[in-house]
Structure 1
Amino acid sequence: MNKEDRKKENVVYNHMIENVNKNETDERNKLNNKNKVKTAVAISYDADDTAPRIIASGKGYVADKMVQVAKESDVPVHKDEKLANTLSKLEIGEYIPSELYGVVAEVLLFVDNLDRIKSKVFPDKYTKK
């Protein structure tokens, strides 16, 4: 597989992890949630790397724009508040620490399964060439 094909392959694994506030009926929880800041982190996995790495991170408006661009670009968005907050503490380009391999592997598996489903439902749009 040449470098260009590998880059295309890696796009499949790029995705967003978004931290969003859940709709809650308890007024106290709603007030607490208003104080939370949305966080978004993008990770990428290249089979040649030792681990997935952080490729983008943002809070507030930047997080909103990251999620918007991801959705417009058909990049899967996975919502996990705790994971997003933890990953946001890492630097851009930094590899995911081994303590998070399990949870990040679950996210990557989710993305891979989502891509398989989309390629079956929309073969013309999502089948790799």
Structure 2
Amino acid sequence: MNRPTLPTQGKRSSAVAITYDKKDSAPKVVAKGYGSLAENIIKTAQEHGLYVHESPELVGLLMQVDLDQHIPPELYQAVAELLAWLYALESRDGEFTGEA
């Protein structure tokens, strides 16, 4: 099933991929990059049927988190809102993968 993506205005200059496992204390940054690497992150997510959400402000903050590190408490609220949006979309579509 193709996942919806938000409209974009040209190429994104940066992208971050996060994942959340219930056994972890917080979501974790699993990929991040600028330019062509950012485009590859987005393309790979779309190829795997993952939702892509555009939020330049949140991406800017998440770019400061080291790879394979949990997000800091200061970002919990913003990421929780993103995950709630994702879960609502997946529930509407009748499936839940647990990946963001």
TM range (shorter): 0.7 to 0.9
- Structure 1 Cα separation of the partners of residues 86 and 65 of structure 2: 21
**1:79 match: secondary structure:** coil
CA RMSD of aligned residues (A): 2.4
Number of positions where the alignment pairs a residue of Structure 1 with one of Structure 2:
92
Q: TM-score, normalised by structure 1?
A: 0.64
Letter in 1 for 2:30: I
| Equivalent residues of 2:90, 2:96 under 8 A apart | no
AA aligned to 1:92 is: L
- Contact 2:15/2:33 (<8 A) preserved: yes
1:4-45 residue CA offsets vs partner (Å, 9 max, x unmatched): xxxxxxxxxxxxxx9x9647xxxxxxxxxx9xx611101111
Q: Does 2:42 align with 1:60?
A: no
TM-score (norm 2): 0.81
* 2:87/2:96 contact within 8 Å kept: no
Q: 1:78 aligns with which of 50, 53, 58?
A: 53
| Sequence identity (%) | 33
Q: Which runs of 5+ in 1 are unaligned?
A: 1-17, 24-33, 120-125
Q: Does 1:117 align with 2:56?
A: no
> SS of the counterpart of 1:78?
coil
Match of 2:13 in 1: 38
Q: Does 1:92 align with 2:73?
A: no
Q: Bigger radius of gyration, 1 or 2?
A: 1
Query: Relative to total residues, which structure has the larger helix share, 1 or 2?
Result: 1
Instruction: Measure, in 2, the Cα distance between the counterparts of 1:94 and 1:78.
Output: 20
